[in-house]
Amino acid sequence: MYICSTQKKYTNNNGLNATKNTISPKSIFLDFKEITKAGLAISVLFSSIAGYLLGVNDEHPFKWSVLLVLSIGGYCMVGASNAFNQVIEKDIDSLMDRTKNRPVPSGRMSPKTALIVASLLTILGISLLYTINPKSAMFAAISIFLYTSIYTPLKTVTSLSVFVGAFPGAIPFMLGWVAATGEFGIEAGTLFLIQFFWQFPHFWAIGWFLYEDYEKAGIFMLPTGKKDKGTALQIILYTVWLIVASLLPALGYTGQLFISPIAAVLVFLLGLWMLFYAVKLYQLRTAKSARTLMLVSVSYISLLQIVFIVDKFLR
């Protein structure tokens, strides 16, 4: 077994070029970033922090200690899911250009080591979140289970995997509220619903512009199985549902989670912005338009969360 090695060229005793594996703190750090998908984990963590800030109030005051534990525990939760995913998918990852250089399929990290890392992250993440409250730990455990045990295996079987994957993908935003209040009610459910509907246009856009790469590994992402009008139309429909869900806090029926009319207008404009690019994908049906929609969707969810937070603390 070896872990987190890099390859360096050297000249052997026969004067021939060869390679050898070397281990360094830098290589360990870089492979840890890759096995946990640090960029993705941090962006998901932002949702949890946003949910926490929305949940704090006079009854449940802001605490730096809770935010720190939520941040570390949340990263461990997402990192564990990603690490388990890369162990399970090591063979199909080696078939795709965008994943073949990951630590496990490239051989820099053994599957056994990756499994140990994933298990330790799971234990650490759930334990940390349990110190906040039991519900936070429960939702973290559910997220890891759904992502690794159901979503990941389904990816090569059916496009319904995106529907299943939307559940663990929607938990982080809700998790922040639960960490702040210790309660799961209409407020946390609304945050869950917003990020749940967001998953579909986001991941179908990814599935569109990476269609050929996914096809190599037999991964099903698009709802019709093709880059056609049917898929593009569903992207539009789910974007509309996302806009509706995002505006629910403005109607006064979501408990302590609500936004002002000004914030509602901003959220609606953000929704129209994303809908515009969903329609563009329907019209053009190109990889470039799908990539653009994916980037817009990432901006949308981040800006929406910022609008929610700013509106809460300014009104």
The string of pLDDT tens digits covering residues 206-218 is 999 999 999 988 9
Work out the percent of the chain whose per-residue pLDDT is above 90: 80
pLDDT digits (tens, 9 = 90+) for 91-135: 998 989 888 889 999 888 899 999 999 999 999 999 999 999 999
Instruction: State the Cα–Cα distance between residues 171 and 185, nearest whole angstrom.
Output: 13
What was the pLDDT predicted at 24?
76
Mean pLDDT throughout 156-161?
91
70, 152: one domain: yes
Mean pLDDT throughout 144-172?
94
**Which tokens sit at 122?**
């799971």
H-assigned helices in the chain: 25-35, 38-55, 64-88, 90-93, 103-106, 111-132, 134-145, 152-154, 161-181, 186-209, 211-217, 229-247, 261-284, 287-314
**Which tokens sit at 128?**
């940390």
102-111, 162-171, 239-248, 262-271 — which is least confidently predicted?
Answer: 102-111
211, 249: one domain: yes
Better-predicted residue by pLDDT, 43 or 190 = 190
Banded pLDDT at 260 (limits 50, 70, 90): very high
196, 312: one domain: yes
What was the pLDDT predicted at 23?
67
pLDDT at 287 over 50: yes
194, 149: one domain: no
Q: Compute the mean pLDDT over every residue in the chain, rounded to the nearest whole number.
A: 91
127, 201: one domain: no
Residue 3, C-beta contacts closer than 8 angstroms, at least 6 positions apart: 23, 28, 31, 109, 110, 113
Specify whether the CB–CB gap between 34 and 99 falls below 8 A.
Answer: no
Mean pLDDT throughout 29-41?
89
CATH number of the domain to which 143 belongs:
1.10.357.140
Mean pLDDT throughout 12-25?
52
pLDDT digits (tens, 9 = 90+) for 246-259: 999 999 999 999 99
163, 245: one domain: no
What's the number of domains the chain is made of?
2
72, 160: one domain: yes
174, 267: one domain: no
pLDDT digits (tens, 9 = 90+) for 57-66: 989 999 999 9
pLDDT at 172 over 60: yes
Domain final residue, candidates 183, 210, 244: 183
Q: Which residues pair with 19 in a beta bridge?
A: 9
Give me the sign of the Cα torsion angle 288, 295, 208, 75.
positive
